[in-house]
């Protein structure tokens, strides 16, 4: 917003908007017309609000108009009247009442809106209201007609083989050509053609990227890997995608389902009109045509689409799942998670759990009753309820509270995971033992009090951090990077974590305020984050150090493979070995996932060992 001093005139704000229509509505032309009107009628322009390159179909993205409305309703107001070039510059809202509503807000606050090139000017007579409404209807109708023309023109261009739209998937490039289809240059991401007569076509990219696409199809169709497993394998191989980052799961999913991989261009799959939500068009209305030689064989691409269709929500009904389980039971004689996930063309174990709540419920509906497995506690013996409750009471009498760490370290009790399985939760076990049950907040406060009593709360990475040192580190970080976010604080390597700041000062916002750093609104932070993403400078969540465990988003088969690999490596397996393995979740998480550790062991062939302190491992013949 720009301001000028016009003390001898009525204070006026001018609102300017230009989309991409024509020179008639350039901001300079609007300014000149408004300046001429203001000079003739005694107005002095003291504020300017400009929405350049913004559509008038809605208020979305028109920050200048939003600010103008806010200032018009503020006290005191910085202006007394709003000058606009014509009704269409105020907006081409598809509901004329929306434009009238925003004008009414200004008038109700004592700020009239004047359209300087309209014949009615400042007149507020009833006939003027009718004409103004007609003008609003005409403005919205113009947008509807223009939208229909643009949609028709784009479809005609697509039928001629020219690309309509922005970026393309990994492995392909947009090529700028002249009217005779002679190549000019490869367009980089974000670049667009400069001349209307030029056109854009799609061509295959570098051979190394096309080799990656063929590899993705081979892993998906022949090796039956999931998109997550493919992404991990490509990342481990050093394959990079957009912005030198590893290919994401979404990118791989788009590659597998995109017709460009067989050299086919497809247009008119969806329709977006007047900033409305995209609508999917019937398949018979799509425009398809061959653009270049296929990158992958057609048969392989069709097989991939069949596999994708099976994975879509709603493909597996309850009846289909039960029938598949019955067929598998007849073939194998038994059912297990490994057997289910190992079959081709059938539902996964996770799909069965999502439909029926558990594998056991699915087994029951398929007519299979798994063999009973007695629950064993520590030392290979069963724990009675009385013995468990007595042990909890002894532990509480000694320490004054109960925690998972205390239970796991107490020789007269089994693991906390076993007690949780026995009673349903540790809270229920504590209640059954007639012991006080603290809430979560009290547990956190007790943990923090213990850390402070031990002198550990001020330490991070072996260094004692005072409040002044923490704030100074935050100021240095802001001076170096120009901003401070939780991810930057977590990963810069020179400061404690964002959680550490939050625990010390209450929140990051309070820490920034104490450090006298500029405080941004949520909108400003989002805008800055988007800018850094476009520049390739966005810092996302990651590991703070090499030994930090990754996100615990594990699939059942991944956990089982990890357990078997751990047993093969050491010959034995235990909770301690699981907890120390950076590629596995904690032993408690594994027990919670499968019900108990012994269940997970049995699924991968790990058995109880005789005569050894650690009770589980692979059989001798393995």
3-state secondary structure 501-541: HHHHHCCHHHHHHHCCCCCCCHHHHHHHHHHHHHCCCCCCC
The model's pLDDT over 521-556, given as tens digits with 9 standing for 90+, comes to 888 888 888 888 888 877 776 554 454 444 445 678
Region 499-512: what's the mean pLDDT? 83
Per-chain mean pLDDT for the chain: 80
Q: What is the band of 622 on the pLDDT scale with cuts at 50, 70, 90? A: very low
Q: 10-143 maps to which CATH number? A: 3.40.50.1390
Structure token pair of residue 11 = 């204070």
Q: What is the band of 578 on the pLDDT scale with cuts at 50, 70, 90? A: confident
Structure token pair of residue 46 = 């003291």
Domain boundary assignment for the chain: 10-143, 172-309, 316-365, 378-453, 459-534, 556-617
22: cis peptide before it, omega within 30°? no
The predicted pLDDT at position 48 comes to 92
Answer for the pair 344, 224: CB distance below 8 angstroms, yes or no: yes
The predicted pLDDT at position 621 comes to 60
Bridge partners of 45? Answer: 12
Region 263-285: what's the mean pLDDT? 72
Structure token pair of residue 287 = 């425009």
Distances (CA, A) of 184 to 71, 159, 293, 527: 49, 21, 21, 34
The predicted pLDDT at position 311 comes to 64
Q: 172-309 maps to which CATH number? A: 3.90.1750.20
Answer for the pair 99, 93: CB distance below 8 angstroms, yes or no: yes
Residue whose tokens read 């995971």:
417
The predicted pLDDT at position 83 comes to 94
The answer for 571, left when phi > 0, alpha when psi is -120 to 50, beta otherwise, is: left
The alpha carbon dihedral of 482, 486, 492, 495 has a sign of positive
The predicted pLDDT at position 34 comes to 92
The model's pLDDT over 431-473, given as tens digits with 9 standing for 90+, comes to 899 998 887 767 767 776 766 665 555 555 545 678 888 899 8
The model's pLDDT over 52-100, given as tens digits with 9 standing for 90+, comes to 877 767 777 788 898 898 888 888 888 999 999 988 888 888 788 888 8
Q: Between 102 and 439, where is the model more confident?
A: 102
Element (H, E) at 236: helix 227-236
Element (H, E) at 46: strand 43-52
Structure token pair of residue 552 = 């615990």
- Report how far residue 109's alpha carbon sits from residue 77's, in angstroms, rounded to the nearest whole number: 9
Share of the chain above pLDDT 90, in %: 8
The model's pLDDT over 324-379, given as tens digits with 9 standing for 90+, comes to 899 999 988 888 888 887 777 778 777 788 788 788 888 989 999 887 654 444 54
Residue whose tokens read 């086919």:
264
The predicted pLDDT at position 452 comes to 63
Structure token pair of residue 383 = 């724990």
pLDDT at 169 over 60: yes
Element (H, E) at 445: helix 440-453
The model's pLDDT over 247-258, given as tens digits with 9 standing for 90+, comes to 888 888 889 988
The highest-confidence range among 19-28, 205-214, 354-363, 443-452, by mean pLDDT, is: 205-214
Answer for the pair 588, 417: CB distance below 8 angstroms, yes or no: yes
- Report how far residue 433's alpha carbon sits from residue 430's, in angstroms, rounded to the nearest whole number: 5
SS3 category, 436: coil
- How many residues can be counted in the chain? 622
Share of the chain above pLDDT 70, in %: 85
Q: What is the band of 381 on the pLDDT scale with cuts at 50, 70, 90? A: low
């Amino acid at each position: 917003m720009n301001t000028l001093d016009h003390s001898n005139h009525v204070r006026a704000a001018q609102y300017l908007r230009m989309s991409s229509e024509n020179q008639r509505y350039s901001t300079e032309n609007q300014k000149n017309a408004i300046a001429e009107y203001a000079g003739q009628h005694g107005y002095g322009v003291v504020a300017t609000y400009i929405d350049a390159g913004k559509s008038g179909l809605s208020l979305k993205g028109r920050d200048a108009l939003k600010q103008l409305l806010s200032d018009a309703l503020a006290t005191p107001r910085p202006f007394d009247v709003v000058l606009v070039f014509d009704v269409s510059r105020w907006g081409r809202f598809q509901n004329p009442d929306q434009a009238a509503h925003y004008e009414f807000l200004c008038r109700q606050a004592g700020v009239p809106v004047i359209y300087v090139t309209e014949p009615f000017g400042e007149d507020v007579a009833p006939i003027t209201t009718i004409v103004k409404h007609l003008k609003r209807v005409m403005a919205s109708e113009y947008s509807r007609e223009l939208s229909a023309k643009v949609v028709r023109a784009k479809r005609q261009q697509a039928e001629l083989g020219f690309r309509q739209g922005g970026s393309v998937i990994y492995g392909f490039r947009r090529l700028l050509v002249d009217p005779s289809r002679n190549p000019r240059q490869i367009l980089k991401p974000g670049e667009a053609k400069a001349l209307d007569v030029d056109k854009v076509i799609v061509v295959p990219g570098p051979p190394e990227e096309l080799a990656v696409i063929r590899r993705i199809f081979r892993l998906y169709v022949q090796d039956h890997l999931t998109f997550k497993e493919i992404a991990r394998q490509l990342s481990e191989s050093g394959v990079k995608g957009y912005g030198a980052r590893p290919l994401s799961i979404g990118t791989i999913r788009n590659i597998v389902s995109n017709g460009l991989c067989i050299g086919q261009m497809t247009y008119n799959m969806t329709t977006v009109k007047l900033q409305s939500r995209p609508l999917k068009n019937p398949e018979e209305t799509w425009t398809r045509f061959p653009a270049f030689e296929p990158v992958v064989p057609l048969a392989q691409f069709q097989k991939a689409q069949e596999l994708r269709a099976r994975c879509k929500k709603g493909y597996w009904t309850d009846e289909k799942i039960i029938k598949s389980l019955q067929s598998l039971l007849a073939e194998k004689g038994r059912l297990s998670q490994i057997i289910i996930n190992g079959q081709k063309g059938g539902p996964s174990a996770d799909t069965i759990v999502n439909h029926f709540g558990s594998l056991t419920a699915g087994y029951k509906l398929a007519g299979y009753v798994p063999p009973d497995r007695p629950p064993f506690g520590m030392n290979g013996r069963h724990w009675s309820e009385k013995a468990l409750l007595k042990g909890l009471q002894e532990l509480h009498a000694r320490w004054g509270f109960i925690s998972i760490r205390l239970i796991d370290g107490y020789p007269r009790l089994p693991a906390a995971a076993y007690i949780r399985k026995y009673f349903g939760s540790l809270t229920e076990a504590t209640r059954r033992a007639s012991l006080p049950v603290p809430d979560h907040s009290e547990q956190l406060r007790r943990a923090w009090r213990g850390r402070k009593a031990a002198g550990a709360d001020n330490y991070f990475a072996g260094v004692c951090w005072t409040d002044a040192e923490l704030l100074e580190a935050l100021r240095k970080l802001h001076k170096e990077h120009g901003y401070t976010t939780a991810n930057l604080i977590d990963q810069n390597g020179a400061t404690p974590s964002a959680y550490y700041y939050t625990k010390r000062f209450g929140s990051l916002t309070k820490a920034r305020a104490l450090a006298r750093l500029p405080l941004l609104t949520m909108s400003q932070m989002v805008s800055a984050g988007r800018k850094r993403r476009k520049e390739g400078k966005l810092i996302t969540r990651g590991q703070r150090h090499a030994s930090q465990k990754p996100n615990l988003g594990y699939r059942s088969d991944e956990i089982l493979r990890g357990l078997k690999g751990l047993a093969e490596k050491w010959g034995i397996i235990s909770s301690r070995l699981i907890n120390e393995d950076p590629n596995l979740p904690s032993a408690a998480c594994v027990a919670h996932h499968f019900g108990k550790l012994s269940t997970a062991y049995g699924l991968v062939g790990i058995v109880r060992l005789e005569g050894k302190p650690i009770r589980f491992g692979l059989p001798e013949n393995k």
